[in-house]
Structure 1
Amino acid sequence: MEVTTMSEALQLHAQILKLGTSNNDAPRNFSKLFTFAALSPSGDLNYARLLLTSNPALNSYYYNTMLRAYSLSSDPTHHFHALSLFIFMLRRPTHGVPAPDNFTFPFVLKCCARLKLARQGKQLHGFITKMGFGSDCYIMNALIHMYSVFGDLGVARELFDRMPDRDVVSWTSLIDGLVDHDRPVEAIELFGRMLEAGVEVNDATVVSVLRACADSGALSMGRKVHGIVKEKKRIECKCNVSTALIDMYAKSGCIESAKKVFDGVVDKDVYVWTAMISGLASHGLCKEAIDLFLEMETCNVKPDERTMTAVLSACRNADLVREAYMVFSDMKKRYGIEPTIQHFGCVVDLLARAGCLKEAEDFMNAMPMKPDAVLWRTLIWACKVHEDTERAERLMKQHLEMGVDDSGSYILASNVYASVGKWSNKAEVRELMNKKGLIKPPGSSRIEVDGALHEFVMGDYNHPEADNIFVKLDEMVDKLKKEGYNPKLSEVLLEIDDEEKATQLLHHSEKLALAYGLIRTSQGSKIRIVKNLRSCEDCHEFMKLISKIYQRDIIVRDRIRFHHFKNGDCSCKDYW
Structure 2
Amino acid sequence: MAAIPASLVPAKTITGITTIPQFPENPKSIILQKCRTRRDLNQIHAHLIKTRLIFNPSLTENLLESAAIILPNAMDYALSIFRKIDEPKSSAYNVMIRALTYQQSPDEALLLFKQMCANAVLPDEFTFSSAFKACSKFIGLVEGQQIHAHVVKRGFQSYGFVENTLIHMYAVCSDMVVARMVFDGMPERDLVAWNAMLAGYAKRGCWEEVVSLFLKMREMDVGFNDVTMITALTACGRVANLELGECIAQYIEANGLKGNINLTTSLLDMYAKCGQVDTARILFDQMKQRDVVAWSAMISGYSQANRCYEALSLFNEMQKANVDPNEVTMVSVLYSCGVLGALETGKWVHFYIKKKKLKLTVTLGTALIDFYAKCGLIDSAVEVFGKMTTKNIVSWTAIIQGLASNGEGRRALEFFRLMQEAKVEPNDVTFIGVLSACSHAGLVEEGRTLFLRMSKDYGIEPRIEHYGCMVDILGRAGLLDEALQFIKSMPMEPNVIVWRTLLASCRAHKNVPIGEESFRQIIQLEPAHSGDYILLSNIYGLAGRTKDALKLRSQIRELGIEKSPGCSLIELGGVVHEFFSEDHEHSHSKEIYRATEEMIKRIKSAGYEPNIGDARLDAEEEAKETSVSHHSEKLAIAFGLINTQPGSTITISKNLRICTDCHNATKIISKVYKREVIVRDRNRFHHFKEGSCSCNDYW
Normalized against structure 2, the TM-score is what? 0.73
Question: What letter matches 2:185 in structure 1?
Answer: S
Does residue 87 (structure 1) correspond to residue 215 (structure 2)? The answer is yes
Structure 1: 4+ residue segments shifted above 6 A: 5-8
Question: Counterparts of 1:533-548 in structure 2 under 5 Å?
Answer: 533-548=656-671
Question: Counterparts of 1:112-131 in structure 2 under 5 Å?
Answer: 112-131=236-255
Equivalent residue, structure 1, for 2:344: 220
Does residue 401 (structure 1) correspond to residue 524 (structure 2)? The answer is yes
Equivalent residue, structure 1, for 2:164: 31
What is the RMSD of the two structures over their aligned residues, measured on CA atoms? 2.7
Alignment match of 1:66 (pick from 197, 205, 229): 197
**Higher RCO, 1 or 2 (CA under 8 Å, sep at least 6)?**
1
- CA deviation digits over 1:496-528, x for unaligned, max 9? 554332222111110000111111112121111
**Alpha-carbon distance, 1:556 to partner:** 1.3
Equivalent residue, structure 1, for 2:155: 20
Task: Give me the whole-angstrom Cα distance separating, in 2, the residues matched to 1:204 and 1:323.
Answer: 38
**Alpha-carbon distance, 1:186 to partner:** 1.8
Equivalent residue, structure 1, for 2:428: 305
Equivalent residue, structure 1, for 2:286: 162
Alignment match of 1:462 (pick from 562, 569, 585): 585
Alignment match of 1:268 (pick from 365, 368, 391): 391
**Alpha-carbon distance, 1:555 to partner:** 1.5
Verify the 8 A CA contact 2:300 2:311 in the aligned structure 1: yes
Task: Give me the whole-angstrom Cα distance separating, in 2, the residues matched to 1:483 and 1:458.
Answer: 24
Alignment match of 1:488 (pick from 561, 586, 611): 611
Question: What letter matches 1:16 in structure 2?
Answer: V
Go from structure 1 to structure 2 and tell me whether the alpha carbon gap of 1:114 and 1:523 turns closer, same or farther (over 3 Å shift): same
Equivalent residue, structure 1, for 2:265: 141
User: What 5-or-longer segments of structure 2 have no aligned partner?
Assistant: 1-130, 539-548
**Alpha-carbon distance, 1:128 to partner:** 2.7
Alignment match of 1:207 (pick from 331, 335, 338): 331
Task: Give me the whole-angstrom Cα distance separating, in 1, the residues matched to 2:256 and 2:536.
Answer: 61
Verify the 8 A CA contact 2:168 2:200 in the aligned structure 1: no
**Alpha-carbon distance, 1:469 to partner:** 1.5
Go from structure 1 to structure 2 and tell me whether the alpha carbon gap of 1:494 and 1:390 turns closer, same or farther (over 3 Å shift): farther
Verify the 8 A CA contact 2:567 2:633 in the aligned structure 1: yes
Verify the 8 A CA contact 2:667 2:691 in the aligned structure 1: yes
Task: Give me the whole-angstrom Cα distance separating, in 2, the residues matched to 1:388 and 1:492.
Answer: 23
Please, which moves more after superposition, 158-167 or 53-62?
53-62
Question: SS at the partner of 2:571?
Answer: strand
Question: What letter matches 1:108 in structure 2?
Answer: A
Go from structure 1 to structure 2 and tell me whether the alpha carbon gap of 1:10 and 1:220 turns closer, same or farther (over 3 Å shift): same
- CA deviation digits over 1:27-55, x for unaligned, max 9? 554234311333323x13x4323322332
Alignment match of 1:521 (pick from 613, 630, 644): 644
Equivalent residue, structure 1, for 2:173: 40
Task: Give me the whole-angstrom Cα distance separating, in 2, the residues matched to 1:414 and 1:120.
Answer: 46
Question: What letter matches 1:460 in structure 2?
Answer: D
Bigger radius of gyration, 1 or 2? 2
**Alpha-carbon distance, 1:149 to partner:** 1.7
Question: Counterparts of 1:41-440 in structure 2 under 5 Å?
Answer: 41=174, 43-44=175-176, 46-55=177-186, 57-74=188-205, 78-93=206-221, 98-233=222-357, 235-402=358-525, 404=526, 409-415=528-534, 419=538, 420=549, 421-423=551-553, 425-427=555-557, 429-430=559-560
Verify the 8 A CA contact 1:423 1:495 in the aligned structure 2: no
Equivalent residue, structure 2, for 1:434: none
Task: Give me the whole-angstrom Cα distance separating, in 2, the residues matched to 1:529 and 1:203.
Answer: 27
Go from structure 1 to structure 2 and tell me whether the alpha carbon gap of 1:457 and 1:56 turns closer, same or farther (over 3 Å shift): farther
Verify the 8 A CA contact 1:179 1:187 in the aligned structure 2: yes
Verify the 8 A CA contact 2:652 2:679 in the aligned structure 1: yes
Go from structure 1 to structure 2 and tell me whether the alpha carbon gap of 1:453 and 1:495 turns closer, same or farther (over 3 Å shift): closer
Go from structure 1 to structure 2 and tell me whether the alpha carbon gap of 1:470 and 1:187 turns closer, same or farther (over 3 Å shift): same
Question: SS at the partner of 2:461?
Answer: coil
Task: Give me the whole-angstrom Cα distance separating, in 1, the residues matched to 2:335 and 2:557.
Answer: 39
Go from structure 1 to structure 2 and tell me whether the alpha carbon gap of 1:497 and 1:352 turns closer, same or farther (over 3 Å shift): farther
Equivalent residue, structure 1, for 2:50: none
Equivalent residue, structure 1, for 2:41: none
Verify the 8 A CA contact 1:352 1:382 in the aligned structure 2: yes
Question: What letter matches 1:183 in structure 2?
Answer: R
Question: What letter matches 1:364 in structure 2?
Answer: I
User: What 5-or-longer segments of structure 1 have no aligned partner?
Assistant: 432-438
- CA deviation digits over 1:137-191, x for unaligned, max 9? 2222222222212222111111111111112211111111211222222212211
Verify the 8 A CA contact 2:308 2:340 in the aligned structure 1: yes
Question: SS at the partner of 1:530?
Answer: strand
Normalized against structure 1, the TM-score is what? 0.88
Verify the 8 A CA contact 2:507 2:536 in the aligned structure 1: no
Task: Give me the whole-angstrom Cα distance separating, in 2, the residues matched to 1:468 and 1:22.
Answer: 80
Give the number of aligned pairs.
553
